[in-house]
Structure 1
């Protein structure tokens, strides 16, 4: 590609993603309308949220068409943070259970 030329993507891709975002938003709304409760509700809401965020990052931020190095720079740090949060949650649960066992509560 020559200097100054922009890469063009068909409008159909964007329309398809807008449609998918609409469908995912309706699904997220239906979780509240149906009245789901507990872990199922929060799992579905989080799943819909992550799917919508992934579509927006992939298409509207043009990550689908970027090089692997740029993708790694953008996606690896949040992945590492999520992994560390998981480790902290596991360790916090262990401390809580240890304290409950020690105090006899």
Structure 2
């Protein structure tokens, strides 16, 4: 009976050891992760600045590729800030970040492929669909 008690006591100690180690190392997390309000105010400020810059593109009357490039740049920067901070993706696992970042990159790659393909298609249409007179 003594051996059984020692064995049972050893099992209880081995089950409680990871809990005590986690408490001692400080790896436990408080319920509901809290971020400083300064971070949210800074992000809000940057969103305000980027939105102002986006409106200034129209105010100064920029046209063509410069206009659309700036508008898209400011839009992507604002979306990145929102996803990173307000959706807490900056603190998530790498696999989850890939789930957010990889699809837009692939879409841009496919758009580039379509741009190159469109030149070829246009060339074929010019060659073979010439109106006869």
Q: TM-score, normalised by structure 1?
A: 0.87
Q: Greater shift after overlay, 29-38 or 66-75?
A: 66-75
Stretch deviating more after TM superposition (55-64 or 2-11): 2-11
| 1:64-79 paired onto structure 2 within 5 Å | 64-79=90-105
Provide the secondary structure at the position in 2 that maps to 1:85: helix
Residue 56 of structure 1 corresponds to: 82
Residue 3 (structure 1) shift: 7.0
Matched positions, count: 105
TM-score relative to the length of structure 2: 0.70
User: Relative CO higher for 1 or 2, CA cutoff 8 Å, sep ≥ 6?
Assistant: 1
Distance in 2 (alpha carbons) for counterparts of 1:90 and 1:84: 10
5+ unaligned residues in a row in structure 1: which ranges?
none
> How far off its partner does 1:4 sit?
6.8
- The answer as to 2:126 corresponding to 1:100 is yes
Between structure 1 and structure 2, the one with the greater Rg is: 2
Counterpart among 43, 50, 53 of residue 24 in structure 1: 50
What corresponds to 2:12 in structure 1?
none
The residue that corresponds to 2:15 in the other structure is: none
